[in-house]
Amino acid sequence: MIISPQNKVLIQGIFEPSGMTYAPLMRAYGTQVVAGVSIGWGDSNLKGIPTFNLVDEAIAAVGAIDTTIIFVPPYSVLDAALEAIVAGIRQIIIVTEGVPPLDMVRLLREAEATETMVVGPNSPGIIIPGEILLGTHPASFYTPGTVGIISRNGTLTYEVAMQLSAAGLGQSISVCIGSDAVIGSSFPQWLQILEEDDRTEAIVLVGEIGGDSEETAAHYIAEAIDKPVIAYIAGLNVPRGRRIGHAGAIIDSYILELGPDIGTADSKINAFRRAKIPVADRPSQVPELVKKKLRQPARKT
């Protein structure tokens, strides 16, 4: 995924309430929001952003689009995303929450076939502090720097960024992969992106209970990531009593020796500790662990 201030950005669902709120904020941050799409709102504009009925009409007017950000209702997301893919857009961020899982399965098949990166759904998107805002991150919490954040939870992403900024640790990038049942890009994909990013010196991974994403990420970090990583897992005090996850995740947990309680906070924390990845007890502890890791000698490749 190539993200820079030069990216041309489209907003699908620009006249949805969230689109109307955040499109101008993105543009004010310096993002090149060049057009919006909302059915029935063609030949109009939102605070200077030209709007069209169809993605093809927008591209015909403003040229090629690098990234689209989708705010349409859940049952319209698949159509919007497929329209973007057919039009040649290869970076899709889905802010909408509650997209039907089978719609996401179909979308991800199309995305894989066309080498399209999908972030979300149920994601505030991506921010490179001081350069570009793609989504709904509160920009005031972020400062430019060298710590990359990858998260499943939007509000915890902001909390961690605020704690890092307050401690004088700016961020190179912050991405929330989303927290719906089926999502696009994964922790390992973004870990590899940040591993190869020259500006990122350390990575903070913010997880939560449910599924096996964090356990898989811990295993991947131990095998493939050389930069220092710090983790924080939310949900430690959620009552136990029922298994969280699905059959495939449970089988994988045995294959990877992650333990039978896949999906719980304990399972995720133990997976990171087995991989020798420091785990913060609370967001306010993250900066201290990052500073400690940055003082240590780099791992040899």
Radius of gyration of the CA atoms of the chain, in A: 19
Task: Give the pLDDT of residue 143.
Answer: 98
Residue 98 scores a pLDDT above 90: yes
Structure confidence at residue 145 as a pLDDT band (50, 70, 90): very high
Structure confidence at residue 262 as a pLDDT band (50, 70, 90): low
Residue 127 scores a pLDDT above 60: yes
Give me the residues paired with residue 205 across strands: 150, 231
Distance CA 226, CA 211 (A): 25
Task: State both tokens at 143.
Answer: 């400062």
Residue 242 scores a pLDDT above 60: no
What does the pLDDT average to over 266-285?
93
Task: Give the pLDDT of residue 246.
Answer: 40
* DSSP codes of every residue in 85-96: HHTT--EEEE--
* DSSP codes of every residue in 36-78: EE-TT-TTEEETTEEEESSHHHHHHHH---SEEEE-S-GGGHH
Listed residue (48, 85, 49) closest to 65, CA to CA? 85
Distance CA 13, CA 112 (A): 24
What single-letter amino acid sits at 132? I
Residue 256 scores a pLDDT above 50: no
- Region of 26 on the Ramachandran plot (φ > 0 left; ψ -120 to 50 alpha; else beta): alpha
Look over the chain and give the mean of its residue pLDDT values, rounded to a whole number: 90
**Residue pair 151/179 in contact by the 8 Å Cβ criterion:** no
Task: Give the pLDDT of residue 179.
Answer: 87
Residue labelled with tokens 């900066």: 287
Task: State both tokens at 127.
Answer: 């921010």
- Please, what is the end-to-end C-alpha distance for the chain in angstroms? 24
Task: Give the pLDDT of residue 158.
Answer: 96
Taken in order of first residue, the domains within the chain and their CATH numbers are 8-119 (3.40.50.720), 138-295 (3.40.50.261)
- The single residue of 162, 197, 222, 246 carrying the catalytic annotation is 246
Task: State both tokens at 120.
Answer: 């979300």
What does the pLDDT average to over 223-233?
96
Task: Give the pLDDT of residue 197.
Answer: 97
Distance CA 215, CA 152 (A): 13
Residue 219 annotated to the active site = no
Residue 106 scores a pLDDT above 80: yes
Rounded-to-5 percentages of helix, strand, coil across the chain: 40, 20, 40
Residue 295 scores a pLDDT above 80: yes
The answer to whether the Cα torsion of 26, 76, 92, 262 is positive or negative is positive
Question: What is the per-residue pLDDT across 18-44, written as a single tens digit (0 to 9) for each?
Answer: 999 999 999 999 999 999 999 999 999
What SS3 class is residue 202? strand
Kind plus residue range of the DSSP H or E element containing 101: helix 101-114
